[in-house]
Structure 1
């Protein structure tokens, strides 16, 4: 008689939870909780954090000019005040351009309303001639076709910047003291924290990268803004100065800034002149920004903006939610600062690889070359 043999199952091996794994989990949870608290604090203090961040970036960008003035005998305070005056003049000029454009917009709103009605009638007539039925009953009340909606988000964005500029006195005061103290920060760090020369060199590298990004993007943003303004003036599009200012501001938003800068003038050209002139605006913007962003700027920017497009978009959403429109403009500098910070430590360098637009092998090679 054959006895049935029972299959023998391998015993389940249990992996004991060690103190090390518990410690890693605890550190992860504490880090996540701390990050949530920091983000909540930034959002609550956005009215203070935004001017300080802007003042810091302006100070970083102006520091070479301030150093140049001091080398020629200027007192540090005078050099700092000169930088503040230049910054205040730039903000005043920007505000003047926006104010004049808003006055023009207010006077042109009735005409835009009539053109929207004519465009709505044209769309309805075109839909009626199609071989299939199209419901156009909602066009009459569509909010997206109102002139306020076309420029509403633009004015909201610029309004957010204006509210930050409302703290201009605080901003200028912070800039003065930052510029005066800028040259003494490295020595103060050595004395206060006993920082090594390597740490100071890393800080200098961070400052240089930030300055390079801010200065280069400001220069090429101005070039793109002026070129787009001249294009719109040549085509007769209303509010050309406002759209030029918007184009300059959007140049600090990679990937999506071009679309945000193009949409309002293209829609306005469609209302004023029809589809032909709107396509000319789209084509002109595309050519100008293609030449600047893909041909000229990479020769000067190099690898300073080595960020994944996904990281850029997430940063725009996150910092825009935390600090408003100012946060959206500062999202890329903040992301660059974070990537440089994690790249400077071996245990967090993996996060820098994830944030980088290059693959891990390339990043590792470049890091090795840099360390060599």
Structure 2
């Protein structure tokens, strides 16, 4: 009884600690999110520095190349985002008349369905075209606030990237005292690299195909929607729907219902085949996380860190798994529940023929 009581106390203590840490991460999301982004970027790009050193580059030159790659990735992403959002903000007001006509058509349709006039007025007021402009302004403001944290992110990338070459030696030293922790962190780095590589490749394919399809249909800002498709490709399970809504809506305003239907059809065919049939299989093999776990991780990390948590949900889940599940033998049973496929394991005693029936 005392043993069971101690186990219950330890379990309750662990749950309480997780709740407190989660609440702290949520409150400090403005700091934790850039740190998480910098960590994932450095872990993803670190193999570049190792490859250069393996091919005879000096340590300082390979580190400099690693930092240049990190800053180039960040600069291209930030510049593309700022230019695209600015163009969107300038384009939305030109569709005020089309949006008003669409809202009038929606109001007429609701009236034919028996919806009262007050309810129609309330619905149309919530869909006021001016709200689109206000939404665009808020998006621009969000981008501006993100740029204010850019200095912090650049500093993080510099320090983490400069120390990336020493991480393997640090893990080797850690393995002397904590071999399980060192092995778990190595597994996290490998899984994160594979996931980011796979997601980046598939994201580029989806972005190019979607962008060309939208350009052929005449939907405005195809580059912006291609960029959105690339970013949302890192969001598990629901990224497809997030990337579909804006070009679908703009296609309706610019080209009418026919263009909207074509956008939906093309996205469903392209993105369903790539993101729903091919990519989950490859991602599941690279991360060994079940579909249910990836969806729950999306919800959890989005609540903890905001929109950036949705993009980093899988790497952060891999880090949490490495620290909480893979480091101790008594918690490794949870890996079987998190895995994308059952592990065919045989207990050591039974395999050795020393079980109760082995006599």
TM over 0.5: yes
From 326, 348, 354, the equivalent of 2:308 is 326
Q: 1:177-192 maps to which residues of 2 (within 5 A)?
A: 177-191=159-173
**Alpha-carbon spacing, 1:336–1:198, altered in 2? closer, same or farther (3 Å):** closer
- Distance (Å, rounded) in 2 between the aligned partners of 1:223 and 1:323: 28
Indicate the residue corresponding to 1:250 in structure 2: 232
Indicate the residue corresponding to 2:355 in structure 1: none
Structure 2 unaligned regions, length at least 5: 349-359
- Distance (Å, rounded) in 1 between the aligned partners of 2:97 and 2:312: 39
Quick check: 1:247–1:261 contact (8 Å CA) kept in 2? yes
Q: 1:66-145 maps to which residues of 2 (within 5 A)?
A: 66-127=49-110, 130=112, 133-135=114-116, 137-141=118-122, 142=124, 145=127
- Distance (Å, rounded) in 1 between the aligned partners of 2:54 and 2:145: 37
- Distance (Å, rounded) in 1 between the aligned partners of 2:238 and 2:250: 20
DSSP-derived class of the 1:252 partner: coil
Structure 1 unaligned regions, length at least 5: 1-17
- Distance (Å, rounded) in 1 between the aligned partners of 2:140 and 2:230: 12
Superposition RMSD in Å: 3.2
Quick check: 2:180–2:328 contact (8 Å CA) kept in 1? no
Indicate the residue corresponding to 1:8 in structure 2: none
Indicate the residue corresponding to 2:210 in structure 1: 228
DSSP-derived class of the 1:194 partner: helix
CA positional deviation for 1:72: 3.3
DSSP-derived class of the 2:286 partner: coil
Residue correspondences, number: 347
- Distance (Å, rounded) in 2 between the aligned partners of 1:113 and 1:66: 51
Quick check: 2:181–2:327 contact (8 Å CA) kept in 1? no
Indicate the residue corresponding to 2:354 in structure 1: none
Q: Does 1:363 align with 2:343?
A: yes
Quick check: 2:89–2:137 contact (8 Å CA) kept in 1? no
Describe the superposition over 1:158-211 as per-residue Cα deviations: whole angstroms up to 9, x where unpaired: 865764453333323332332333343233244356236665444323311111
Indicate the residue corresponding to 1:271 in structure 2: 253
- Distance (Å, rounded) in 1 between the aligned partners of 2:104 and 2:145: 39
Indicate the residue corresponding to 1:9 in structure 2: none
Instruction: Give the stretch that moved more between structures: 277-286 or 28-37.
Output: 28-37
CA positional deviation for 1:123: 2.9
**Alpha-carbon spacing, 1:21–1:60, altered in 2? closer, same or farther (3 Å):** same
DSSP-derived class of the 1:259 partner: helix
DSSP-derived class of the 1:363 partner: coil
Q: 1:1-372 maps to which residues of 2 (within 5 A)?
A: 18-127=1-110, 130=112, 133-135=114-116, 137-141=118-122, 142=124, 145-147=127-129, 163-191=145-173, 194-195=176-177, 200-294=182-276, 296-297=278-279, 300-301=282-283, 303-341=285-323, 342-343=325-326, 345-358=328-341, 362-365=342-345
Quick check: 2:188–2:322 contact (8 Å CA) kept in 1? yes
Indicate the residue corresponding to 1:3 in structure 2: none
